[in-house]
Amino acid sequence: MGKRRLIHLSWPDARRAVTAGSGYTLIELSVVVFLIALMLSLSVPRIRDTLFADNLKAATRRLAGASRELKNEAIREHVDYILHLDISAPGFWTYSADTTAEKLAEIRKRAVRFADGVTISGFIRPGQEKINEGDVEIRFHREGYIEPAVVYLTEGERSFTIVFHPFLDRVTVYEKEVPFTFDERQNAPKI
């Protein structure tokens, strides 16, 4: 085995030897800046939506979510469920068709209310004109179908249309007010 030779460098020479090859090229810096910009462009919209919540979208999501839950509950428990909409004081509550009057009064007190500015601007069901005030109900049948209906939510100049299809597993949401009529044969909403 050969002997190792030690090289003694003075402090300035050692510092230069270490730092001579440790710089970044312009390409490396450009790639890092690009990656940071890409990550920010993906995360800023989500942060913005979180900080500046869209009350109309939130109300729409809550109503659509309640619809999914009620349909599943009705089928699983084999009991009709009702989605009760309060147009005058915008909000909703849900209950099973076999709920007692006392329990119903208690459920109504815990209704989900929409944020200030969000209103239920209309409700349509087959064979009826557009309803703009009062209370309305959508029944979720134990057999898995829903009473067809169209709900309009509004905040300022913006409107959303929520369509409850009788035989589909989901509701359809339009980010504008869409005029609907009902197909007389199928009782299904159509544009």
- Fold type of domain 55-190: minor pseudopilin epsh fold (3.55.40)
pLDDT, tens digit, for every residue of 122-135?
898 887 888 888 88
With a cut of 60, say whether residue 40 has pLDDT above it: yes
pLDDT tier at 72 (50, 70, 90 boundaries)? confident
- Mean pLDDT of all residues in the chain? 81
pLDDT tier at 23 (50, 70, 90 boundaries)? confident
pLDDT of residue 32: 92
pLDDT of residue 186: 47
With a cut of 60, say whether residue 102 has pLDDT above it: yes
pTM of this structure:
0.66
Domain ranges, ordered by start, for the chain: 22-51, 55-190
Output 130 or 180, whichever has higher pLDDT: 130
Amino acid at 133: E
pLDDT, tens digit, for every residue of 109-125?
888 888 888 889 889 88
pLDDT of residue 81: 92
pLDDT of residue 3: 66
